[in-house]
Amino acid sequence: MIFIQPRISEKSYFLSEQGNTYMFDVDPSANKQQIKEAVQEQYDVSVKSVRTAVAKGKVKTTPRKRRYPIEGKRKTVKRAYVTLMPGKTLPFFEDIS
């Protein structure tokens, strides 16, 4: 079982309204078949397709007074775009009007 977490943003809201597509943050090692099975099991819906995108973590520098700057790195995130069968929905945005 892989960990999936819904991503709530303006873009994900627009995708859910227009194309019945929902966005999830998933484990970077998960493949499309595992993501599909996890969504079907957790939310009891039929999945039409799964697309994935990996956002590489960026290096960020924080300046400090009279010292060397601190460098840190944001973590790499894998996002899954899950399209459901027509007539199926998920309850994330139903309360928003």
Task: Give the CATH number for residue 9.
Answer: 3.30.70.330
60, part of any domain: yes
Domains of the chain: total:
1
Degrees, nearest 5: CA angle 10-34-3: 60
Coil, helix or strand for 25? strand
Measure the CA–CA gap between 15 and 94, rounded to whole angstroms. Answer: 14
23, part of any domain: yes
Domain of residue 34: give its range. 4-84
pTM score: 0.83
52, part of any domain: yes
21, part of any domain: yes
94, part of any domain: no
Query: Phi and psi of 84, rounded to 5°?
Result: -95, 160
Question: For 8-60, how does the pLDDT look when each residue is reduced to its tens digit (9 = 90+)?
Answer: 999 999 998 898 999 999 999 999 999 999 999 999 999 999 999 999 999 99
28, part of any domain: yes
pLDDT of 96 reads 64
57, part of any domain: yes
93, part of any domain: no
| H-run or E-run covering 4 | strand 4-6
CA-based nearest residue to 44, from 93, 89, 83, 86: 89
